[in-house]
């Protein structure tokens, strides 16, 4: 959501919905057609549980953002943007 607010504040159009590319520089979101020079498709992501020993002791990226004090050490699981 923070990224979305930044895009809107910078003058970009933000459109929600299921999109389908209809041409080289065109897409439709629902029944609404759009044309573009540049596009960013952000599908979203969320943390998930993993079947590994000790996973019950992990926290998510949302949890770490709410911490008052940071831990002395951190191990990242995953290499995607949500992890790093």
Q: What does residue 32 show for φ and ψ, rounded to 5 degrees?
A: -95, 120
Domain that includes residue 3, residue range: 1-44
Residue 33 or residue 3, greater confidence: 33
Q: Residues 40, 54: one domain?
A: no
- Residue 46: pLDDT band by 50, 70, 90 thresholds? confident
Q: Residues 14, 38: one domain?
A: yes
Locate 34 and state its tokens.
Answer: 């759009």
Q: Residues 39, 70: one domain?
A: no
Residue 59 confidence (pLDDT) above 70 = yes
Q: Residues 36, 65: one domain?
A: no
> DSSP readout, 58-82?
---HHHHHT-SS--S-------STT
């Amino acid at each position: 959501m923070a990224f979305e607010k930044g895009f809107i504040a910078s003058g970009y159009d933000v459109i929600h919905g299921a999109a389908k590319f209809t041409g080289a520089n065109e897409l439709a979101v629902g029944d609404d057609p759009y044309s573009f020079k540049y596009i960013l498709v952000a599908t979203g992501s969320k943390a998930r549980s993993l079947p590994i020993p000790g996973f019950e002791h992990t926290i998510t990226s949302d949890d770490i953002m709410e911490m008052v004090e940071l831990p002395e050490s951190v191990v990242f699981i995953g290499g995607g943007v949500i992890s790093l």
